[in-house]
Each structure stands twice: as C-alpha cells, then as structure tokens.
C-alpha cells in the first residue's frame, strides 16, 4: 500500500488519521510542524501528503507554495482545515493541491479522497525542469521578460546561443500555460498535417538547426509554410548565425529569413550564475522524486562551488554533474568534496568556448577577460583575495572588472 504523510499540529487529529489510514493498510508518517514535514518529505518521498493549513511555524499554504516553487510537488497534496474558506480552498488548488478536506473529516470522505489522490499519483508523469520560477540573476530575469513579450507575437522565433543550453527550456516560456509544445526528432522525421494540428495554438520547437540533414531541412520548409494555417508557432535554435547556416549548412535563404523573423540571444549559464544553486537543487529534487537516486541534499558549500564554476558546457553540463553527485555521493548531504571530485572528473570533457578572431578588438578582449576571470574564480573556489593575487589586480579594481563583465563576485569576507 501507500506511504502517507500526515501534517497537523493537533496530536488528536494526527493519531485519529494514523489509525484510520493504518487500518486501510497504509504506512503513515506523522509531522506536527512544517519543519518536520520538510524533513520527512525529503527522507521518505511519500505517495500522498495530508497537510493542515493552520500550523504554528509555517502555514500549510506557504509550505505548499514552497514545494511548488522548488519543483517538489511530485506527490498529491490534500489540504485540511477546521475553519477554512472557499477562497482558501481555491488558492490551494491553484497552487497545486489536489483536494481540500474540511474538519471534522467524515470517514467516507477521507477514504474516498485518499483513494482518488493515490490513483491520480500513479498517472502523473514526473515534473519537467522549468525556468518559470527562476530569475535571481539580472540576465535570466531579463530573458524571461523578453520571452514573455515575444510570446504575444505569432511570428517564427530563432533562439541563438552556445551548445548545451537546453534551448527547449527557454522555448517553453513562449508557449501559453497548457498550450501544446511539440518537440523532438520525430517532428521533422515525418511531418504531416496531424503534427501541425497537434501543435495548434502552441509551439513547434526545432532543435539545433546546424545538425539538420537535407531531408529534415525540406520537411522543416513544409511545416513552416503551413504553420500559420494551424496557428502553430515555429521556434528554432541555432549556435550559428544565419550567414553561417547558409554558407556552411546549405540552408535555403528564404527559409532562414522566415525562421529568423525574430531573433533572441540566450545568455550562457555563466551569465546567470546566481541561478545555478536553484537550478542544481531543482535538478536534484527531480532525481529524488523519480526515485532515480537515494534522498540527497546539496550543502551550502556544495552550492557555492557549483555557482562559481565556469560551466563551459552550460545547462547540459550542470545536469550531468548533478546526476553524478546524486548517484556518487556517499552521504545524504552532498559536500564540497563531492563537487570538487565530480568537477575534476569532468574537467577537459567539454572544450572551452572559442574566441572568435574575426570579432572587433574590443569584443574579442572582453571575451578573453570573461574566460580568464571565470577560470580564476572556479580555480580559487570564489576566493576574491586569491583571484586578486593571481591576476595581479587590486581588490577594488577586480570588483569593478567582474561587475563590468557581468560575472558573479566571489567571497568578500576574506582579507
């Protein structure tokens, strides 16, 4: 049977629900506060949570929001309250709660709700990684705003960026909530009116354009010519500019002109390093939710080390590192030593970004400086005193330089 977490500050309610659910064959975990609930949820990944709204430390709605924002609502949650309102129930379901039980809880209503919630849990697919709740860094916050603005248009959009950027995560921000998002190699393998119909009102996403063969390019032309009729928007991604796609990959100039009616450059992961801790924690939570690894938590030191890494392989590299940490760490808390071990193993696996020598001198210099200081920050684990010593720059000058390059400032507490 199922494992059910009951969260309520009233001991009588906890004991009563525990007896009823145990009689039904379920394993019951009990928490009297939000802090207990967090700990038990991380350690046991329950199949269902019965969550009281009114608790002394953190109310149930706030805890529900916290789990939703961090991608930890991989299980159904049923809210409970003895003096709730319709507005509270509506807010809870909007955030992600499956149902709402009013105290005193009728036995048949409880059992029916639990049965439905567990059946629903079996049918729910694992939550996908999303950038919708992130944006600590100015770079990611700005790109999200631009994508929200571009979402108002139906014109084809070309995203530009480095390899490993997981561009589909950005493309999903263009699609309205609940709208179709059709992605993958099958999209160009057998294009058809049915494919366009499935994407109607949503997005047709085409991955790296430079990797398309002749037949796939022809099929893309077919979809592009008919997308407007089905109100499907084509969003594509390329690591190369339009000129390079034309000259090196034999793209039809007219097709590229249509694909690039709107163009938006994506920031590399190093440009939104402030979001790396949240991204890493979310990726790890998904692995734990999917039971792909034992319960894991990233320590503060581990998160800081990830934040200061240069990430030449971008989001794809971060995902690979997090998966290695999840499966390779010996303790529940992933430590700094674990991160250093995994990053050392990854070193050299991904070539660093190249400096384009055909750029104007000023742009080429800025690219070199960014790579140089990213390397020093990663090597010295964010220690500003050591970076200043290695670079031969005075600390105040170093702070100004990092700020001008859009790089995160490392640890300031050292002298």
Q: Does residue 156 surpass a pLDDT of 90?
A: yes
CA nearest 199: which of 159, 234, 156, 170?
A: 234
Q: What are residue 350's phi and psi, to 5 degrees?
A: -115, 125
CA nearest 244: which of 190, 275, 208, 201?
A: 208
Q: Does residue 377 surpass a pLDDT of 90?
A: no
Q: Does residue 148 surpass a pLDDT of 90?
A: yes
pLDDT-derived band of residue 413, with 50, 70 and 90 as boundaries? very low
**240: Cβ contacts below 8 Å, ≥ 6 apart:** 209, 210, 248, 249
* Cα 277 from Cα 232, distance rounded (Å): 35
Q: Does residue 190 surpass a pLDDT of 50?
A: yes
3-state secondary structure at position 173: coil
For residue 414, what pLDDT is reported?
A: 42
* Cα 60 from Cα 55, distance rounded (Å): 7
> In terms of pLDDT, which residue wins out, 349 or 314?
314
Average pLDDT over residues 387-399: 86
């Amino acid at each position: 049977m199922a494992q059910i977490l009951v969260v309520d500050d009233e001991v009588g309610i906890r004991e009563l629900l525990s007896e009823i659910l145990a009689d039904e064959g379920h394993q019951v975990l009990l928490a009297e506060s939000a802090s207990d609930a967090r700990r038990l949820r991380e350690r046991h990944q329950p199949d269902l949570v019965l969550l009281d709204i009114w608790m002394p430390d953190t109310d149930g709605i706030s805890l529900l929001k916290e789990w939703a924002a961090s991608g930890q609502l991989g299980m159904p949650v049923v809210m409970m309250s003895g003096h709730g309102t319709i507005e509270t129930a509506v807010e809870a379901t909007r955030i992600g709660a499956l149902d709402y039980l009013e105290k005193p809880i009728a036995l048949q209503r409880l059992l029916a709700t639990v049965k439905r919630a567990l059946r629903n849990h079996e049918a729910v697919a694992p939550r996908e990684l999303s950038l919708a709740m992130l944006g600590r860094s100015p770079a990611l916050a700005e790109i999200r705003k631009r994508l929200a603005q571009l979402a108002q248009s139906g014109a084809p959009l070309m995203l530009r960026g480095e390899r490993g950027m997981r561009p589909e995560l950005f493309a999903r921000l263009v699609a309205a909530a609940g709208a179709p998002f059709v992605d993958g190699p099958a999209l160009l393998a057998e294009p058809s009116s049915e494919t366009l119909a499935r994407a109607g009102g949503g997005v047709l996403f085409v991955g790296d354009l430079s990797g398309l063969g002749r037949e796939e390019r022809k099929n893309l032309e077919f979809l592009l010519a008919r997308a407007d009729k089905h109100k499907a928007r084509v969003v594509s991604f390329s690591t190369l500019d339009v000129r390079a796609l034309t000259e090196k990959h034999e793209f039809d100039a007219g097709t590229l002109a249509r694909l690039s009616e709107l163009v938006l450059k994506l920031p590399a992961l190093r440009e939104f390093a402030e979001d790396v801790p949240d991204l890493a924690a979310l990726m790890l939570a998904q692995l734990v939710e999917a039971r792909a690894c034992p319960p894991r938590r990233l320590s503060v030191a581990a998160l800081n080390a990830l934040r200061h890494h240069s990430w030449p392989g971008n989001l794809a590299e971060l995902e690979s590192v997090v998966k290695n940490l999840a499966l390779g760490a010996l303790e529940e808390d992933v430590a700094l030593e674990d991160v250093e071990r995994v990053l050392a193993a990854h070193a050299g696996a991904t070539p660093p970004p190249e400096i384009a020598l055909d750029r104007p001198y000023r742009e080429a210099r800025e690219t070199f400086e960014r790579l140089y200081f990213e390397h020093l920050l990663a090597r010295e684990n964010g220690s500003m005193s050591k970076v200043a010593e290695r670079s031969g720059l005075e600390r105040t000058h170093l702070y100004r330089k990092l700020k001008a390059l859009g790089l995160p400032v490392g640890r300031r507490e050292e002298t």
